[in-house]
């Protein structure tokens, strides 16, 4: 009975907060826009029965997504920005995590606190701060002008470059923490053994450290890529008119156009795009666990 209760609690949580809302979104995506409240049809009526209700559902909105170039361009642009941001975050986050894992024991809690410190401030405040830093009269341009690197202010705000900066800054802790956890568990004697067998420090790093920290790298990449793909706030505040991301399109469809069926179809496709890499990651973890067992 205890085992059954332990299993039912998380499944009930997923059922109430994920599966049921997802089914509702799927139902709306199969509906048609209407001047009603809620702004879509059909709506279930007990008098007509479930058969009549299901007969009015169709895949017209999903077909529309394939015919309108705005949506698939938004998906491609979001995938590109999320992938590039994840790679940049990995290139910055791995050395930070490696330095934390190699630091003396007494310094590690302090370094950990510095990584987590940005979470003590509101997400919106941090993004707004970057607007002040990256603007033409902002701190970055003023500093570059002061040291003589540039002669006139650079246009950084309202560009894709500002979006990359905002995403990398915001999600950097999500990359650093899992990699640090993997490196912290790494047995240092393996590195010494590799060097004793003739490997240089660089070779030992590539042949021993990187493979043994692979799980942390994969976990960090997922923790950055998944929220970055559907990001809305950062491209809205730091991006410009040329910044096309599916999160902005989703917002416009829901709140500006009031086209809930199309917006729901966009959300369903976005979720399916995210589910595929998650399932692949879980299968890889399961195979690795079976191999180690």
Each residue of 122-132: pLDDT tens digit? Answer: 888 999 999 99
Q: Give the least confident one: 91-95, 169-173, 182-186.
A: 182-186
Highest mean pLDDT among 49-63, 167-181, 239-253: 167-181
Confidence band (pLDDT; 50, 70, 90) for 174?
very high
User: What angle in degrees, to the nearest 10, is found between the helix axes of 69-102 and 108-116?
Assistant: 160
pTM > 0.75: yes or no: yes
Nearest to 213 by CA among 93, 35, 107, 34: 93
Instruction: Return phi, psi of residue 157, to 5°.
Output: -65, 145
Longest dimension (CA), the chain: 80
Express as a percent the part of the chain with pLDDT over 90.
39
Query: What's the rounded Cα separation, in Å, for the pair 43 and 238?
Result: 39
For residue 293, what pLDDT is reported?
Answer: 60
Sign of CA dihedral 252, 253, 254, 255: positive
The answer to whether residues 41 and 48 touch, using CB atoms and an 8 Å cutoff, is no
Nearest to 168 by CA among 82, 270, 277, 98: 82
Query: What's the rounded Cα separation, in Å, for the pair 255 and 37?
Result: 14
Long-range contacts of 109-118 (CB under 8 A, 24+ apart): 112/180, 115/172, 115/173, 115/176, 115/177, 116/173, 118/173
Query: What's the rounded Cα separation, in Å, for the pair 112 and 272?
Result: 34
Instruction: Choose the CATH number for 65-292 among 1.10.3720.10, 3.30.70.580, 3.40.190.10, 2.160.10.10.
Output: 1.10.3720.10
- For the stretch 105-149, pLDDT in tens is 899 999 999 999 888 888 889 999 999 999 988 899 999 999 988
Nearest to 61 by CA among 34, 27, 32, 21: 32
The answer to whether residues 137 and 116 touch, using CB atoms and an 8 Å cutoff, is no
Mean per-residue pLDDT, 174-201: 86
3-state DSSP assignment of residue 32? strand
Place of tokens 């997400």: 123
Domain ranges of the chain: 65-292
Mean per-residue pLDDT, 141-166: 90
Highest mean pLDDT among 90-94, 133-137, 156-160, 242-246: 90-94
The answer to whether residues 221 and 175 touch, using CB atoms and an 8 Å cutoff, is yes
Query: What's the rounded Cα separation, in Å, for the pair 253 and 239?
Result: 19
Query: What's the rounded Cα separation, in Å, for the pair 221 and 33?
Result: 37
Q: What is the DSSP letter of 187?
A: -
More confident residue, 193 or 95: 95
For residue 18, what pLDDT is reported?
Answer: 85
Instruction: Return phi, psi of residue 269, to 5°.
Output: -65, -40
DSSP E strands, 22-178: 32-33, 40-41
For residue 243, what pLDDT is reported?
Answer: 86
Confidence band (pLDDT; 50, 70, 90) for 260?
very high
Q: Are strands 32-33 and 40-41 parallel, antiparallel or unpaired?
A: antiparallel
């Amino acid at each position: 009975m205890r085992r059954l209760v332990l299993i039912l609690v998380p499944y009930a949580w997923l059922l109430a907060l994920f599966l049921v809302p997802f089914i509702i979104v799927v139902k709306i995506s199969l509906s048609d826009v209407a001047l009603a409240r809620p702004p879509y049809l059909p709506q279930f009526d007990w008098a007509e029965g479930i058969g009549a209700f299901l007969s009015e559902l169709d895949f017209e909105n999903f077909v529309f997504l394939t015919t309108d170039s705005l949506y698939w361009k938004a998906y491609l642009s979001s995938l590109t920005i999320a992938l590039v941001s994840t790679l940049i975050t990995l290139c910055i986050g791995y050395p930070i995590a490696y330095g934390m894992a190699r630091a003396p024991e007494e310094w590690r809690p302090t370094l950990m606190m510095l990584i987590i410190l940005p979470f003590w401030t509101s997400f919106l405040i941090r993004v707004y701060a970057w607007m002040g830093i990256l603007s033409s009269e902002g701190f970055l341009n003023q500093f570059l002008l002061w040291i003589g690197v540039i002669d006139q202010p650079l246009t950084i705000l309202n560009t894709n470059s500002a979006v990359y900066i905002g995403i990398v800054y915001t999600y950097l802790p999500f990359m650093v923490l899992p990699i640090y956890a993997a490196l912290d568990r790494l047995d240092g004697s393996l590195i010494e053994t590799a060097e004793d067998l003739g490997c240089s420090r660089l070779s030992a790093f590539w042949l021993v450290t990187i493979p043994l920290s692979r799980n942390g790298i994969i976990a960090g990449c997922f923790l950055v890529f998944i929220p970055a793909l559907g990001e809305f706030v950062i491209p809205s505040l730091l991006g410009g008119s040329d910044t096309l991301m599916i999160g902005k399109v989703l917002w416009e469809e829901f709140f500006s156009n009031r086209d809930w069926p199309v917006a729901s179809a966009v959300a369903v496709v976005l979720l399916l795009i995210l589910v595929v890499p998650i399932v692949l990651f879980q299968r890889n973890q399961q195979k690795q666990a079976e191999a180690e067992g």
